[in-house]
Each structure stands twice: as C-alpha cells, then as structure tokens.
C-alpha cells in the first residue's frame, strides 16, 4: 500500500503535489476497500482526509491553494457513496477548481457496495441543489406514468 499524506498537513508547494496526479480520498476507504484504494492510488499522490472530522471550508481552501500554487495535473476524489460527509469532498474539489479558474481534470469516484463508480461533475453539482434533483425526479416519474 502506497504511503499517503494528510491533505491538511502537506505543504501546498510540496514536490509531492507539484504537477502531479493527486488522489484525495476518504481516510476510511483503504480500511474498508483496500483493493479499490490500491488500484485507484496507483501512479497518484494520495492525500487523505476525513470530512467527519474537518470543516469543508478548511478542506476546500486547502485544495484551492494546492491548485493555485502547485498546478497538479489532475485530481481524483475517491469516497464512500451515501455518506453526506464524503459528498462534501467532491463538492469542495469542484468549488476549488471553479474559484481558481484552472483547466484541471477532476475525476469523481465513489464506492457503492464494493463497486467503484465514476460520477460526473454534473452529478456533484446536482448534489448541492436539492430542488434540481426534485425536479428531475418529478420529470422521471411523469415520464414513467
């Protein structure tokens, strides 16, 4: 298993993050799904964080500062699906990309019942807008009737 750093403890200008492919992941994931973590972390700089223990503003600011100062090649976010805390990590990565204005690839991955699923940036956007989700569900329900 690749040695990882804590997202909030690493220097934003560290050679570990400068120009690298980053993996920002829920700290519980390697314990719960070690094979998935190992597969996804290959070739990336892994940075762990637990959104149950950290405030989203701190995490979002850290990600944005890393983007601004170290210009990573890409960011992959890997979390458990269904956790409201984990959802925040995906939202913060998208927000950090938006506020920095960087043209950066952000990949969103979740683990649902032991299966790795890629999630679009659009789905992350919708996770912040319950009224839009409700509208989509109503349209789906009406289409089925």
> Which token pair is 40?
């996804």
> Which token pair is 55?
């405030």
In the chain, domain spans: 5-144
- For 60-107, how does the pLDDT look when each residue is reduced to its tens digit (9 = 90+)? 999 999 999 999 999 999 999 999 999 999 999 999 999 999 999 999
Instruction: For the chain, give the mean pLDDT.
Output: 95
| Fold observed for domain 5-144 | Rossmann fold (3.40.50)
Q: Is the CB of residue 47 less than 8 Å from the CB of residue 23?
A: yes
Q: What is the CA radius of gyration of the chain?
A: 16
Q: Is the CB of residue 115 less than 8 Å from the CB of residue 81?
A: no
Q: Is the CB of residue 60 less than 8 Å from the CB of residue 113?
A: no
Close Cβ partners of 23 (under 8 Å, ≥ 6 residues apart): 40, 41, 44, 45, 46, 47, 75, 76, 78
Close Cβ partners of 119 (under 8 Å, ≥ 6 residues apart): 90, 108, 109, 110
- For 111-143, how does the pLDDT look when each residue is reduced to its tens digit (9 = 90+)? 999 999 999 999 999 999 999 999 999 999 999
DSSP 62: H
């Amino acid at each position: 298993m690749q040695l990882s750093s804590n997202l909030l403890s690493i220097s934003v200008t560290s050679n570990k993050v400068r120009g690298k492919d980053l993996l920002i992941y829920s700290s519980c994931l390697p314990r719960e799904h070690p094979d998935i973590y190992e597969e996804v972390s290959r070739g990336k700089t892994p940075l762990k964080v637990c959104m149950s223990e950290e405030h989203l503003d701190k995490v979002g600011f850290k990600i944005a500062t890393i983007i601004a100062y170290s210009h990573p090649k890409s960011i992959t976010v890997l979390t458990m699906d269904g956790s409201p805390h984990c959802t925040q990590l995906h939202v913060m990565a998208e927000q950090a990309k938006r506020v920095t204005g960087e043209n950066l690839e952000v990949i969103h991955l979740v683990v649902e019942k032991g299966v790795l699923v890629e999630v679009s940036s659009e789905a992350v956007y919708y996770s912040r807008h319950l009224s839009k989700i409700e509208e989509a569900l109503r349209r789906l329900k009406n289409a089925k009737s």
